[in-house]
Structure 1
Amino acid sequence: MGRLTGGDPSLLRRINSAVVLHALRAADRATLTEIARVTGLSRPTVEGVVEDLAAAGLVVEAAPEENTARRQGRPARRFRFRAEAGHLLGLEIGTRRVTALLSDLDGRVLGAQDRDVPETAPADERLERLRTAIAELLRRAGVPRSSLRAVGVGTPGIVEADGTVRLSTALPGWTGLRLGARLRRSFKCPVLVENDANVAAVAEHWKGAATGCDDVVFVLAGLSPGAGSLIGGRLHRGFGGAAGEIGALHLLGRGETPETLLSTTGRPLHPLDEQAVTEVFALAREGDPRALAAVDRFVQRLVQDVAALVLALDPELVVIGGLAAGLDGVLEPLRRELARCCLRPPQVALSSLGEAVVATGALRLALDHVEQQLFAVDGTVTARRRAR
Structure 2
Amino acid sequence: MAEVNHRLVASPVLRQLSVRSVMERLLLDGATSRASLSRATGLSKQTISEVMLVLTERGWVKESGMISGGVGRTAVRYEIDATAGFALGLDLGASTLRGVLADISGTVVAQHELAADGQGGQLPAQAKRLKQILLDAAKAPAERLQVATVATPGVMSPQGRLDLAPNLPGIGELDLAGQLRSALDCQVMFENDVNAAALGEYWEAGENADNHFAFVSIGTGVGLGILVDGQLLRGSSLAAGEIGYLPLGGDPFAPESLEQGALETSIGATGIVQRHQRLGGTAQTVRAIFDALEAGDRIAEETINETARIAALLVLTVTSVIDPDRVVFGGNIGGRPELVRRIGEWMPRVQKRPIRVEASRLGPRATVLGAAAMSLGQMHNSLFSTLEVPGRLGLPTLRQ
TM bracket (short chain): 0.7 to 0.9
- Residues 1:282 and 1:208: Cα distance change in structure 2 (over 3 Å): farther
Is 1:21 the counterpart of 2:23? The answer is yes
SS in 2 for 1:230: strand
Structure 1 residue 43, shift from structure 2 partner: 0.7
2:329 alignment partner, SS class: strand
| Aligned-partner SS, 2:23 | helix
Contact 1:31/1:77 (<8 A) preserved: yes
Asked if 2 retains the 8 angstrom alpha-carbon contact of 1:217 and 1:319, the reply is: yes
Question: In structure 1, which of residues 186, 189, 192 is the aligned counterpart of residue 186 of structure 2?
Answer: 189
Matches within 5 A, 1:22-61: 22-61=24-63
Q: Is the 8 A contact 2:84 2:104 kept in 1?
A: yes
1:262 has 2:264 as partner: no
User: Cα RMSD over matched residues?
Assistant: 3.0
Kindly indicate whether the alpha-carbon contact (under 8 Å) linking 1:204 and 1:210 is maintained by their aligned counterparts in 2: no
The verdict on how the C-alpha distance between 1:223 and 1:95 changes in structure 2, with shifts beyond 3 A counting, is closer
Distance (Å, rounded) in 2 between the aligned partners of 1:328 and 1:31 = 47
* 1:352-376 Cα distance to aligned partner (Å, 9 max, x none): 1111111101101111211221342
Q: Which deviates further from its counterpart, 237-246 or 154-163?
A: 154-163
Paired residues of 2:89 and 2:372 also in contact (CA < 8 A) = yes
Flag structure 1 segments of 5+ consecutive residues without an equivalent: 268-273
Q: 1:311 to 1:322 in 2, by over 3 A?
A: same
Report SS of the residue matched to 1:380.
Answer: coil
How many angstroms does 1:189 deviate by? 2.0
CA displacement, residues 88-144 of structure 1 (integer Å, 9 cap, x when unaligned): 1110111111111111012211111111124xx222333323322222221122112
Secondary structure of the corresponding residue to residue 240 of structure 2: coil
Q: Which moved more, 1:188-197 or 1:246-255?
A: 246-255
Separation (CA, whole Å) in 2 of partners of 1:210 and 1:280? 38
CA distance in 2, matches of 1:156, 1:387: 24
Are positions 1:350 and 2:352 aligned together? no
**Counterparts of 1:301 and 1:357, CA distance in 2:** 24
Partners of 2:71 and 2:219 lie apart in 1 by 64
Relative to the length of structure 2, the TM-score reads: 0.85
Call closer, same or farther: CA 1:278–1:95 in 2, change over 3 Å.
farther
> Aligned pair in 2 of structure 1 residues 223, 185: CA closer, same or farther (>3 Å)?
closer
Deviation at 1:330, TM superposition (A): 2.5
Is the 8 Å Cα contact of residues 90 and 152 (structure 1) preserved in structure 2?
yes
Same amino acid, percent of matched pairs = 27
Unaligned runs of 5+ in 2: 255-261
1:378 is matched with which residue?
Answer: 387
- Does 2:314 align with 1:302? no
What is the correspondence of 1:322-341 to structure 2 with a 5 Å cutoff? 322-325=331-334, 327-341=336-350
- Give the letter for the 2:326 counterpart: L
Cα distance, 1:163–1:231 mapped onto 2, change above 3 Å: farther
Give the CA deviation at 1:236.
0.8
Instruction: State the Cα distance separating 1:167 from its structure 2 match.
Output: 2.0
Relative to the length of structure 1, the TM-score reads 0.87
Query: 1:14 deviation in Å?
Result: 1.5
1:62, distance to aligned residue in structure 2 (A): 1.4
- Evaluate the alpha carbon distance shift between residue 202 and residue 300 of structure 1 in structure 2; reply closer, same or farther with a 3 A threshold: same
Counterpart Cα distance in 2 of 1:275 and 1:141: 40
Amino acid at match of 1:378: L
Partner in structure 1 of residue 252 of structure 2: 252
